[in-house]
Structure 1
Amino acid sequence: MAKLALGSTREATQSDCVRALIAEFICTFFFVFAGVGAAMTANKMSADPLLGLFAVAVAHALVVAVMISAGLHTSGGHLNPAVTIGLFFGGHITLFRSILYWIDQLLASSLACILLKYLTGGLETPAHTLASGVGPLQGVIWEILLTFSLLYTVYATLVDPKKGALDGLGPTLTGFVVGANILAGGTFSGASMNPARSFGPALVSGNWTDHWVYWVGPLVGGGLAGFLYENLFIFRTHDHVPLPRDEAF
């Protein structure tokens, strides 16, 4: 079973952690900037909801693939608190660094959305909300399932040392599953899969309706996928935890 590490405040002053946080901020900023920007463009220009949904799905698929690739060797290219918690439950990142990543991701998302509102002349920033007829429980289940598939893909194509022929394809395949999930669930739950992606638009628009759904669903789905994949499919000694043995639990 994966050893979960608490970490310590010393990590915040380590040069590798500082570099990782800077990279994570940059990658998350441009992910949200492109993703939310595409949604704003679709709302403004497309009269066809299906065409708008397809454009948003493609934009997210592309920017996820690129930004994971850009951040992979510095921060890991998480872009997403659900990915971070999934990797924490697999023993790949400490709890303290996970919290730093979460703060980083939320700040980057907020700044991207504030800038988009300014650059578009005050155009409405579309927040994730549940569709008519979709209740909060249904929304949570949607987000759990969609985020589980995202984290399962991350583990299978990026984390698992036995990925074999998939080596190097992880960012692209992860982008594909994000795009596919938006096409599948975007009309119903919004297909966030990412609390940070939902937080920035909610903050700027002031629309917090059912916002908790976009935390509970992704964090449960991401954490569950990371825990199950690590402990069922990855067999190795857990020397990847970046902390001394006595700080693990």
Structure 2
Amino acid sequence: MAFRHIAIGNMGEASKPETLKAAVAEFISMLIFVFAGEGSGMAYNKITNNGPGSPSGLISASIAHAFALFVAVSVGANISGGHVNPAVTFGAFVGGYISLSKSIVYWIAQLLGSVVACMLLSYATGGLETSAFALSAGVTKTNAVVFEIVMTFGLVYTVYATAIDPNKGDVGIIAPIAIGFIVGANILAGGAFDGASMNPAVSFGPAVVSWRWDNHWVYWLGPFAGTAIAAVFYELIFIPPAEPRAYEQLPPSA
């Protein structure tokens, strides 16, 4: 079973300097990603005077998120692994590549990075609203959850194949490019229906700053469910059972 490698960790691990450095890296990467991604949407709304959505707006959002995520993953890869997403961190935890205690530190840093990015956007734009994710007309909560599950499955499967799999070889810059591309492509597929979050932190920041929480749970349940399916599937099918996990290669005091 894939879950046999799960590690809980302890407070000592969570407070280690390398863990705190990784958390800072996740905070900054998330800030970069959300500031550019959310900012692109705010810029579009300003240009169109909050007019109706259009194909050009969806394409610009897709490109902005793809480029920003490529950069955010790249700059954090050698420090924290470049998760830039609580769902990705959860996927690494399910596979045994990060402990629960360290995951919690990552989650806090990621959520704070998103909130600070949205606060900075609100201030820098003179108080413009950071739009919270919402369902489009005719899209039910069930529809949105399915969208988020499928899109996040694709994202986390890509992360596993290009960044987490210990047998992936030296893929170099291909990993952040592929991760950015799949997010951009998923925004084109699902952006017009539920906003295509795939990332609870990306949804959390705008919700906090705008204080709009309608159907917010969709953007947690969908991504975490999609992540669990992708992680377990990849672990069971493609990674040998005896393959050591990151925490299993650490000394006992780690």
Q: TM-score, normalised by structure 2?
A: 0.92
TM alignment of 1:107-186, pairs within 5 A:
107-164=112-169, 166-186=171-191
Mapped contact 1:80–1:196 kept (Cα < 8 A): yes
Are 1:14 and 2:22 counterparts? no
| Rounded Cα–Cα distance in structure 1 between residues aligned with 2:80 and 2:170 | 24
Picking from 93, 97, 121, the partner of 1:92 is 97
Distance 1:239 1:83, change over 3 A: closer
Gaps of at least 5 residues in structure 1 are none
- SS of the residue corresponding to residue 157 of structure 1 reads helix
For residues 242 and 172 of structure 1, the distance between their equivalents in structure 2, rounded to whole angstroms, comes to 29
Code of the aligned partner of 1:156: A
CA contact (8 A) 2:96 2:245 kept: no
CA distance in structure 2 between the partners assigned to 1:9 and 1:166 by the alignment:
34
Query: By how many angstroms is 1:230 displaced?
Result: 1.9
Q: Deviations over 1:47-88 (max 9, x none)?
A: 561111111110000011111010001011111111010111
Counterpart pick for 1:222 among 221, 227, 237 = 227
Give distance in 2, aligned partners of 1:245 and 1:134: 50
Distance 2:9 2:167 in 1: 27
Q: Supply the RMSD in Å over aligned alpha carbons.
A: 1.9
TM-score (structure 1 length as normaliser): 0.94
2 CA distance for matches of 1:97 and 1:181? 29
Rounded Cα–Cα distance in structure 2 between residues aligned with 1:117 and 1:243: 44
Greater shift in the superposed pair: 57-66 or 164-173: 164-173
In 1, Cα distance between the equivalents of 2:172 and 2:24? 26
- Per-residue deviation, 1:246: 9.1
Q: Aligned partner of 1:238: which letter?
A: P
* Secondary structure class of the residue paired with 1:107: helix
Shift of 1:241: 2.1
Q: Matches of 1:245 and 1:68 in 2, distance apart? A: 27
Once the two structures are superposed, residues 164-201 of structure 1 have per-residue CA deviations (whole angstroms, 9 ceiling, x without a partner) of 47443000011000000000000001100000000000
Q: Are the aligned partners of 1:94 and 1:242 in contact in 2 as well (CA < 8 Å)?
A: no
Give the counterpart of 2:218 among 209, 213, 217. Answer: 213
- Cα displacement string for residues 129-157 of structure 1 (whole angstroms, at most 9, x for unaligned residues): 01110000110000000000000000111
The percent of aligned pairs where both chains have the same amino acid is: 50
Structure 2 distance, partners of 1:156, 1:239, is 15
Superposed CA deviations along residues 100-147 of structure 1, whole A, max 9, x for unmatched, are 111111111111101100100011211110111000011000000000
In the TM superposition, what is the alpha-carbon distance from 1:226 to its structure 2 partner?
Answer: 1.4
Q: Which amino acid aligns with 2:162?
A: T
- Residue 23 of structure 1 is matched in structure 2 by 25
Whether 2:244 is the aligned partner of 1:238: answer yes
CA distance in 1, matches of 2:110, 2:13: 18
Distance (Å, rounded) in 2 between the aligned partners of 1:242 and 1:33: 36
Cα pair 1:85 1:219 within 8 Å, conserved: yes
Distance 2:137 2:73 in 1: 33
> Cα gap change, 1:245/1:75 in structure 2, threshold over 3 Å: closer, same or farther?
closer
Separation (CA, whole Å) in 1 of partners of 2:198 and 2:221 = 10
Whole-Å Cα distance in 2 between the matches of residues 196 and 161 of structure 1?
27
